[in-house]
Amino acid sequence: MRHWNFNSIKEIDSKHVLEYMIEAIENQKQGKVITIEKSQKKVGIPKLLNDRLAQKNNLRASFKTLSISKQKKFCNYILEAKQEKTKIRRLEKILPMIEKGVGLNDVYR
pTM: predicted TM-score of the whole model, two decimal places: 0.61
Count CB neighbours of 92 within 10 A. 10
**What is the reported pLDDT for 42?**
76
Closest C-alpha among 25, 31, 101 to residue 67:
101
Q: What residue ranges do the domains of the chain occupy? A: 47-100
Rounded Cα distance between 78 and 85, Å, is: 11
For the stretch 54-101, pLDDT in tens is 998 899 999 999 999 999 999 999 999 999 999 999 999 999 999 999
**pLDDT digit string (tens) for 22-50?**
998 999 899 988 887 777 677 789 999 99
Quote the CA–CA distance of 50 and 44 in Å, as a whole number. Answer: 10
> Given this model, what pLDDT does residue 1 score?
59
For the chain, helix (H) and strand (E) counts, in that order, are 5, 0
Q: Where are the beta strands (DSSP E) in 1-109?
A: none
